[in-house]
């Protein structure tokens, strides 16, 4: 709910402009009840107010996430919200977007079998995102692949709505930075190669 900046005597109403001040909550509608009078007769008026949300909170990486995925050589592993998850006070969490800032060096991210450079948290929740090792033999020891991701609320938009009852526009982004995270993937060797034999001269 909001509050009035100050109260004017009724004979100043035609000369001064009143101000509505929002209380910075996440409400999208409010109303102001007014009484208009000429000194003898009066009428009640309800002024409906549409509050445009401001996207001033950046996403926050979730706590308690697992730190590392393990994938077999030439295999694939599902990326879940146990490893990637974020929240946002100003947006629906399922709509948060993860965008590649640095591609993995030994594999790729896939959604529904197709290589992607961005995906949503909803994709993670629905089990659509996989890391796929596309390289060849890695040798006898595990190696680490690193994916760097930017987490975005993806809701930049204008404020062209003019009238009460219009669909509210997307929140206006006011935060300056977006969180960045690394997803570490350990690729495990698979002993599936037949030994090669080289014969020398006798």
Q: Does domain 56-188 have CATH number 2.60.40.60?
A: yes
Per the CB < 8 A criterion, the answer to whether 34 and 47 are in contact is yes
- The per-residue pLDDT for 124 is 96
**Both tokens assigned to 5:** 């900046």
Residue 118 vs residue 168, higher pLDDT: 118
pLDDT digits (tens, 9 = 90+) for 1-45: 554 444 444 434 444 466 777 777 777 788 888 888 888 888 888
* Res. 162: pLDDT tops 70: no
* Res. 183: pLDDT tops 90: yes
pLDDT tier at 130, thresholds 50, 70, 90: very high
Residue 184 vs residue 33, higher pLDDT: 184
Residue 159 vs residue 184, higher pLDDT: 184
- The per-residue pLDDT for 199 is 79
**Both tokens assigned to 141:** 């020891």
Q: Which regions of the chain carry the CATH code 2.60.40.60?
A: 56-188
Length of the chain: 202
Per the CB < 8 A criterion, the answer to whether 58 and 85 are in contact is no
* Res. 166: pLDDT tops 60: no
Cα–Cα distance between 124 and 102 in angstroms, integer?
Answer: 19
* Res. 167: pLDDT tops 50: no
C-beta pairs of 37-41 under 8 Å, 24+ apart in sequence: 37/10
Greatest Cα pair distance in the chain = 124
pLDDT digits (tens, 9 = 90+) for 41-100: 888 888 888 877 766 678 889 988 998 899 999 999 999 999 999 998 878 899 999 999
Nearest to 133 by CA among 123, 148, 120, 143: 143
Burial classification of residue 111, based on how many CB atoms lie within 10 Å of its CB (0-12 exposed, 13-18 middle, 19 or more buried): middle
Backbone angles phi, psi at 131, to 5 degrees: -95, 130
């Amino acid at each position: 709910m909001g509050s009035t900046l100050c109260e004017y005597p009724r004979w100043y109403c035609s000369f001064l402009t009143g101000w509505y001040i929002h209380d910075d909550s996440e409400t999208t509608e409010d109303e102001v009840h007014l009484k208009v009078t000429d000194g003898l007769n009066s009428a009640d008026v309800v002024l409906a107010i549409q509050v445009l949300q401001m996207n001033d909170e950046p996403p926050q990486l979730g706590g308690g996430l697992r730190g590392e995925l393990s994938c077999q050589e030439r295999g694939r592993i599902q990326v879940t919200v146990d490893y990637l998850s974020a929240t946002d006070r100003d947006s629906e969490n399922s709509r948060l977007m993860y965008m590649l800032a640095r591609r993995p060096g030994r594999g790729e991210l896939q959604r529904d079998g197709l290589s992607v450079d961005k995906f949503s948290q909803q994709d993670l929740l629905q089990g659509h995102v996989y890391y796929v090792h596309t390289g060849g033999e890695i040798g006898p020891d595990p190696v680490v692949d690193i994916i760097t991701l930017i987490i975005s609320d993806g809701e930049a938009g204008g404020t062209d709505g003019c009238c009460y009852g219009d669909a509210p526009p997307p929140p206006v982004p006011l935060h300056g930075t977006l969180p960045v995270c690394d997803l570490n993937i350990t690729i495990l060797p698979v002993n599936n190669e037949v030994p090669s034999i080289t014969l020398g001269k006798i």
